[in-house]
Structure 1
């Protein structure tokens, strides 16, 4: 009998809308290659951008919040592994999984460290440096509690593992580094990408519902783009992203060359014809999908330290890392005008993609790690006493609150 993986999603995957959607599909493929049948369940509504999971042989199951129908569903499914796509999903369903399928391995894909993102946002609003005080927020506490309750958390960034182990003393046995998992780019494909002379304009991309992305666009509009435009009066900045609202649309200004393009049906098509990608994030966490898209399409970038975090390791970046607006704009102009610098940064991007995010480099170790953990699950959980403690308390408080809500809704 084939092994079964249940993914419980806070949302249905939208790989064309967000890096989180692409990440989820990468994880599903990894487990399918390990021989798992995959079922994806979510209480969220679908949208026009929802990926057709049946096209990759994944069964889907709508579920309800605070409803005991989930208990019957998961008990009948009896999965070997349950993967929560965010800590909020684990909060809702983790106690039910533990109660109905106690032998199932519980995995958490953090996507990014939400508490870190929240801390940086709070510090930015107060014009302060991020400190321990900022990190002591409710999101951090909830997320770390979720990490303890799960058997293993998949971390997309080495930087976040360092923060969790050093600042919060989380045991490394509860964390596993698994970044973006990309197919190798054949040399023939890179040779076919448009050259420097065939490209024009700047690009940035990101889901507008994601607060760091909206802030980054505002920062470009108000501070950085005027500095670039002053030196390159004919250049344009093309801004792509799903779910553009009225407040985003009204930023469009043809006269300034600041163009809100909205949803990109194919990110590769718009990225490969741009000359330079701008990643002006001032807060956030995890790895930045826009930089991965840029590297795979041979588009050098100018980025902030936040944007670059966790991307490059000891490798050379596919562009310049600058936090001051004047320096950011200066390097953007340099990349735009200097073909030799542009080509070198492009090559750096190809190397980073190959050396740091090649899925073939992670498959075997990830598969072995999951098998070992599954076989030694009882001993692993005994060593995680804090997790046992939090699961006990959570199963009591969350369980009865959920049952109260369910009764109230009847």
Structure 2
């Protein structure tokens, strides 16, 4: 029986974020093989975390910069260690290699953080060039070619750290084909280090309510995720006024985990803009809505909210960044637009035109089946991991850059961590 240790940046919250849904799906794939799975994290326990005991997954609290982790890994002797995002690999990767070098080291990016960060920087630069607050509200989504993105990313601390973590690992799970292409063509990452794995915890298709039984627009997303908060601001300041000008009685319900006071302050029933916060059942409210709005101006990865909309039979309006990596050559179940006027036109059409709404919804089933088949994706992942476990040493010999980075980069990380551990030991 394989032993898997997953080191989480946070405890998985599948009802709060797409990253939490993805993590729970990965854990389910491992457990489907009867593998012994342990989930460890140094994060504080969260209210909305998943009940891992239901999946027979052991939970272990670990400490940062503490040698007790090394001893724990040496006792566990895992076959595979999965790092949840690159910051976790930075903290624990060298410790895993030192304590149990036989373990296959796998990184799950969730999304490419340096890509999201670069797009955010480009958006802010465009806004700062505006002469007024009103003009800043009108700035649309970031439109940059892979070459332009590389120019914005190459010198950034985050890109260098994240790509270095990818090289240091035996395999990195990527959720977006666009990001895989960017890493290979612009950063020169070998395909042997990457695996296309668009696993998401997508709900079973709901009993679809017809057009006549649905009402209102819906927007949903964890408020702690910067692209989601920016999307709410763009909705409030630029997009929703255009929709209301066309549909004076329209109502927008904005849901999301962890709404800060600055978000709840936007609640304005007179404008039909309702900030409702946490949804006890996100899939239920999605299945009751007529149209999902996801006006993302920057970001990365694939968007759980849009996959959920497909499963719930809810057409969506989003941007090219929102749909990135999700549909390939298949038609989108709604509209992909990148200007405020186009967004409002598309939203109103889907909300009012039953034929347009039905045509959009019809595209969802094919897209989910083609792009997000969990059985196929899970089987492909397991087969790739088994091949790597059987050829681990040969695989590592071919990754000289990774070996070099582990030798040099982790020396500084290791010594800093050991210094903190020694300092903590003296102070206690």
Unaligned runs of 5+ in 2: 127-141
What is aligned with 1:390? 405
Q: Say whether the 8 Å CA contact 1:182–1:353 is kept in structure 2.
A: no
Aligned pair 1:287/2:302, yes or no?
A: yes
After superposing on structure 2, the runs of 4+ consecutive aligned residues of structure 1 that deviate more than 3 Å are 181-185
Counterpart secondary structure, 2:162: helix
User: How far off is 1:350 after superposition?
Assistant: 1.7
Q: Say whether the 8 Å CA contact 1:219–1:280 is kept in structure 2.
A: yes
Counting only pairs closer than 5 Å after superposition, residues 6-405 of structure 1 correspond to structure 2 as: 6-127=5-126, 130=144, 131=148, 132-136=150-154, 137-181=156-200, 185=204, 192-405=207-420
User: How far off is 1:354 after superposition?
Assistant: 1.4
- TM-score, structure 2 normalization: 0.93
Q: Return the alpha-carbon distance in structure 2 between the equivalents of residues 182 and 81 of structure 1.
A: 22
Unaligned runs of 5+ in 1: none
Counterpart secondary structure, 2:274: strand
Q: Return the alpha-carbon distance in structure 1 between the equivalents of residues 201 and 9 of structure 2.
A: 23
What do residues 11-59 of structure 1 show as CA deviations (whole Å, max 9, x unaligned)? Answer: 0000010000000010011111233110000000011111111011100
Q: Return the alpha-carbon distance in structure 2 between the equivalents of residues 69 and 364 of structure 1.
A: 35
Q: Say whether the 8 Å CA contact 1:182–1:357 is kept in structure 2.
A: no
Q: Say whether the 8 Å CA contact 1:159–1:309 is kept in structure 2.
A: yes
Q: Return the alpha-carbon distance in structure 1 between the equivalents of residues 406 and 34 of structure 2.
A: 29
Q: Say whether the 8 Å CA contact 1:252–1:260 is kept in structure 2.
A: yes
Counterpart secondary structure, 1:84: strand
Higher mean displacement: 67-76 or 356-365: 356-365
What is aligned with 2:133? none
Counterpart secondary structure, 2:215: coil
What is aligned with 2:137? none
Q: Say whether the 8 Å CA contact 1:182–1:358 is kept in structure 2.
A: no
Q: Return the alpha-carbon distance in structure 1 between the equivalents of residues 26 and 376 of structure 2.
A: 14
What do residues 216-270 of structure 1 show as CA deviations (whole Å, max 9, x unaligned)? Answer: 0000000000000111111111000000010111011110000001011111110
How many residues matched?
A: 405
Q: Say whether the 8 Å CA contact 1:123–1:129 is kept in structure 2.
A: no
Q: Say whether the 8 Å CA contact 1:95–1:394 is kept in structure 2.
A: no
Counterpart secondary structure, 1:272: helix
What do residues 355-402 of structure 1 show as CA deviations (whole Å, max 9, x unaligned)? Answer: 110112223322221111111000000000000000111331111100
User: How far off is 1:133 after superposition?
Assistant: 2.8
Q: Say whether the 8 Å CA contact 2:318–2:337 is kept in structure 1.
A: yes
- TM-score, structure 1 normalization: 0.97
Q: Return the alpha-carbon distance in structure 2 between the equivalents of residues 364 and 270 of structure 1.
A: 32
